[in-house]
């Protein structure tokens, strides 16, 4: 069975996160922190939850190696298209620069001017 660091690397590869500095930036931590986790070093519960949210993987799988990498999605399988869209946007947001976010907001606002009131 792999260790937590190996599972983190597997999740990064699966999600297309090829640079650990990009993951560090998305999570708001130092790159050296990500390196420590990658080397199976200590991780706080808060950071483990944030990491799993950022990489969209099961917390149980990440911490213990039990279950499936996408085990957290089983409970959400009945989600609506709207909920799935919001999940996709949240995942994309974690990887976007502030400039990209501003462009996306401008694009959506151009399609739906009523959104600018929110």
DSSP 17-77: ---HHHHHHHHTS-HHHHHHHHTT----HHHHHHHHHHHT--HHHHHH--S-TTGGGSTTT
Q: Are residues 51 and 97 in the same domain?
A: no
Q: Are residues 64 and 94 in the same domain?
A: no
Number of domains comprising the chain: 2
pLDDT, position 77? 55
Quote the domain boundaries for residue 94.
Answer: 81-117
Q: Are residues 50 and 95 in the same domain?
A: no
Give the Cα separation of 51 and 103 in Å (integer).
26
pTM, 2 dp: 0.62
Give 10-residue mean pLDDT values along the chain (118 residues). 89 92 94 96 94 93 89 64 75 84 84 71
Contacts of residue 41, Cβ cutoff 8 Å, sequence gap at least 6: 5
Q: Are residues 69 and 85 in the same domain?
A: no
Give the Cα separation of 96 and 91 in Å (integer).
9
Q: Are residues 69 and 34 in the same domain?
A: yes
Q: Are residues 68 and 13 in the same domain?
A: yes
Q: Are residues 24 and 68 in the same domain?
A: yes
């Amino acid at each position: 069975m792999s260790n937590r660091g190996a599972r983190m690397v597997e999740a990064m590869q699966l999600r297309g996160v090829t640079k650990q500095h990009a993951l560090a930036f998305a999570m708001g931590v130092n790159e050296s922190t990500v390196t420590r986790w990658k080397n199976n070093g200590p991780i706080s519960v808060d950071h483990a939850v944030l990491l799993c949210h950022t990489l969209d993987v099961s917390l149980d799988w990440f911490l213990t190696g039990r279950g499936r990498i996408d085990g957290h999605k089983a409970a959400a399988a009945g989600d609506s298209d709207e909920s799935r869209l919001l999940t996709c946007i949240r995942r994309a947001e974690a990887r976007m620069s502030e400039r990209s976010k501003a462009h996306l907001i401008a694009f959506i606002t151009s399609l739906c001017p009523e959104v600018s009131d929110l």
